[in-house]
Amino acid sequence: MLIGVLLGPLLGFIRPDHFGELGKILAKITLVVILFEGGLEIRLDFLKRYLGSALFLTISSYLVCFFILWFFLSSLGSFGSLGAIFPAAILAGPAPSVVIPMLKHMKLQDSTRTILSIEATLGEALCILVSLAILQRVTNLELAQMGLGYFFFKLGVSFVLAIFLGFFAGYIWSLLLTRVRKLHNSLFTTPAFVFIVFGLAEILTISGPIAVLVFGITMGNIRYVTNRFFKNLEVGNVVSHTKAEKNFFSEIVFILKIFFFIYLGISIDFSQINAFIVGGIVVVLILVARWSTAVSLRPILKWSLSDARQVMSMFPRGLAAAILASVPMIQGIEGSEEVASIVNYTVFLSIILTSVMIFWTSRHGQMMESAGDEDTVTEASKK
């Protein structure tokens, strides 16, 4: 990301408009592949055990952050017809494209890792659905006259249909995978099918990220699903991905992450000082909201002290927020330029601060573990 800042805003070699629409497409491709690959790593037995905890964390964290940001942004004045509620909805949830890759390199309990993976995905899906619903209410007079009941109904239907689509697609693909492997260059067929699932979900106006995540979870646990729930039925010859195929998907994610973060750095504009200051304050408020939520839920979710510290540190916002902030600009809505600037600064600063805090908490945890080991050895020698 810092390399992108160097090449873009600082030296001026590359500008976001050089990429045209490719930048937004790259962001979606990265998000889709990361969600699918992350879903493959989620074990359904852990998911079944911790789904309730993940939902509790997701909703609590989103609502606390949403209301804190809404209150603060409302105190700054008007953002045109968008109001403070739109940027608050965009920035209230984490970014799975940042969180999920980080989780692989963190020392966490399996339960905490699974909960955070689910929370990141559901949190961003909430951001997308809530912010787009708010935008539709702003631009559509008919929707603006409808109550909140319709909004929550639409939100629930989107989630349920996305889950059904992802599971059905995963089951169908597990039946076809044996035949698909006979094709030349068959490793690329699964990512291609993932994009079809995402595109179909978007066409049906349901949550594409949720559909892709469920597709990955289904493919990673297809044998568990059939043995657990369909063992008395004729379900066909289902197969899952091999270790070599999963390693190939990981390589794709690694390459896409590089371009994703470079593009994010290129997209930062440091000329607007006021928006930069507001973005910095927003990041601090997000951290406060995350800290308060983690402290409150630690006894309920039974996190260790080390896990709780790292949960507090996982609050990055991603390029999906920046894309959502650009939608009102394309439509020419009043106040959208200021909202987009604040969101872009928040994304940049939140990822920087998250990286620093994750590094610090990991080192602090290792020091505490080493100190604990030394104390154990000392006590044993005394005895």
Q: How far apart are CA 146 and CA 150, in angstroms?
A: 7
Domain that holds residue 230: 2-7+20-369
Amino acid letter, 169: A
Of 178-182, 224-228, 259-263, 352-356, which range is least confident?
224-228
* Three-state SS at 359: helix
Whole-prediction pTM: 0.73
Q: How far apart are CA 169 and CA 32, in angstroms?
A: 15
Q: How far apart are CA 109 and CA 292, in angstroms?
A: 21
The enclosing H or E element of 18 equals none
Span 265-283, pLDDT tens digits: 887 777 888 888 999 999 9
Q: What are the residues whose beta carbons fall under 8 Å from the beta carbon of 74, sequence distance 6 or more? A: 83, 84
- Structure tokens given for 315: 């609050």
On whether residue 79 sits in a domain, the answer given is yes
**How high does pLDDT run on average in the chain?**
80
On whether residue 330 sits in a domain, the answer given is yes
On whether residue 92 sits in a domain, the answer given is yes
Whether the CB-CB separation of 353 and 368 falls below 8 Å is answered with no
What φ, ψ does residue 302 adopt, rounded to 5°? 60, 50
Whichever domain contains 183, its CATH number is 1.20.1530.20
On whether residue 383 sits in a domain, the answer given is no
Amino acid letter, 176: L
- Structure tokens given for 255: 């390459």
On whether residue 378 sits in a domain, the answer given is no
- pLDDT the model gives residue 151: 65
Q: Is the pLDDT of residue 363 over 80?
A: no
Q: How far apart are CA 37 and CA 136, in angstroms?
A: 31
Span 19-48, pLDDT tens digits: 777 776 777 788 788 778 878 877 777 777
Q: Is the pLDDT of residue 174 over 70?
A: yes
- pLDDT the model gives residue 154: 73
CA pseudo-torsion sign 93, 96, 99, 104: positive
Domain count, the chain: 1
- pLDDT the model gives residue 373: 46
Q: What are the residues whose beta carbons fall under 8 Å from the beta carbon of 82, sequence distance 6 or more? A: 135, 138, 328, 333, 334, 335, 336, 339
Q: How far apart are CA 334 and CA 340, in angstroms?
A: 12
Whether the CB-CB separation of 146 and 115 falls below 8 Å is answered with no
Q: What are the residues whose beta carbons fall under 8 Å from the beta carbon of 226, sequence distance 6 or more? A: 235, 238
Whether the CB-CB separation of 78 and 295 falls below 8 Å is answered with no
User: To which residue do tokens 């000082």 refer?
Assistant: 273
Which residues share a beta bridge with 81?
79
More confident residue, 329 or 208: 208
Mean pLDDT, rounded, for 167-182: 88
Mean pLDDT, rounded, for 150-157: 72
On whether residue 193 sits in a domain, the answer given is yes
**HEC per residue, 55-97:** HHHHHHHHHHHHHHHHHHHHHCCCECECCCHHHHHHHCCCCHH
Let me know if 145 is exposed, middle or buried by CB neighbors in 10 A (0-12, 13-18, 19+). Answer: exposed
Q: Is the pLDDT of residue 375 over 50?
A: no
Span 45-82, pLDDT tens digits: 777 777 888 888 899 999 999 999 999 999 887 677 67
Instruction: With cut-offs at 50, 70 and 90, classify the pLDDT of residue 358.
Output: confident
CA-based nearest residue to 115, from 293, 360, 365, 274: 293
More confident residue, 88 or 185: 88
On whether residue 75 sits in a domain, the answer given is yes
Of 320-329, 357-366, 372-381, which range is least confident?
372-381
On whether residue 58 sits in a domain, the answer given is yes
Mean pLDDT, rounded, for 292-320: 84
Whether the CB-CB separation of 345 and 279 falls below 8 Å is answered with yes
- pLDDT the model gives residue 147: 62
- Structure tokens given for 334: 């009043």
Q: How far apart are CA 376 and CA 81, in angstroms?
A: 62
